[in-house]
Amino acid sequence: MPATKKESLYFGLMMCFGMVIVMTTYNLALNNRLWEITLAEGVVEFLCGISVAFLLDFFLVGPFAKKMAFKLPINKSKKVYAILSISTCMVIGMAACMSLYGLAMAYWINGPGTEPLLVSYLQTFGKNFIVALPLQLLIVGPLVRYVFIRFVQKKTNSPLAGASQI
């Protein structure tokens, strides 16, 4: 969808914003912290989360997920299949990485848990993945693509987009 690096930046920020705000709220609720933290703490957690998510999306998971998605035996001429395969690969990679980030944050805030690290990670990944995949495929992904095409791509592809800077 994004045709330029600038559009990729906007698209990635929009997607990260939508996913991180919902997943942060979900994880805070899941860990019984949603009503225990202050607004400032919530904002800090969100800003840290979106920063990590964007860096992962733009530099690590995004490029790798796109390569993997296009190696899958799908009909690449159908745009919907390409979108679904890229989105699914992105969710797998981002859920894996962000679950590790979330687990590190939980250990930092609460100390190590009683379960082995691998068990905690797999549980965290599973809980995040089952929410992130439908969230991405059914809500955030379509919403961000709609807003991106309607407002961002339309503006950046307009012949007068840079005219006000002359």
Give the global pTM: 0.89
**Res. 165 pLDDT band, cuts 50 70 90:** very low
Residue 131 lies in a domain: yes
Comparing CA positions, the residue from 131, 148, 151 lying closest to residue 83 is 148
Residue 61 lies in a domain: yes
Evaluate if residue 159 carries a pLDDT over 80: no
| Length of the chain, in residues | 166
Residue 6 lies in a domain: no
Residue 8 lies in a domain: no
What integer is the mean pLDDT of 102-123? 91
Q: Tokens 């225990």 label which residue?
A: 36
Q: Report the share of the chain in percent with pLDDT over 90.
A: 78
Q: What does the pLDDT read at residue 11?
A: 96
Residue 156 lies in a domain: no
Q: What does the pLDDT read at residue 113?
A: 81
Q: What does the pLDDT read at residue 163?
A: 45
Total of domains in the chain: 1
Domain containing 22: what range? Answer: 15-144
pLDDT, tens only, 143-158: 999 999 999 887 766 5
What integer is the mean pLDDT of 88-109? 95
Residue 69 lies in a domain: yes
DSSP letters along the chain, please?
A: ---SHHHHHHHHHHHHHHHHHHHHHHHHHHTT-TTTS-HHHHHHHHHHHHHHHHHIIIIIIHHHHHHHHHHSSS-TTSHHHHHHHHHHHHHHHHHHHHHHHHHHHHHHHH---SS-HHHHHHHHHHHHHHHHHHIIIIIIHHHHHHHIIIIIIHHHTSTTTTGGG-
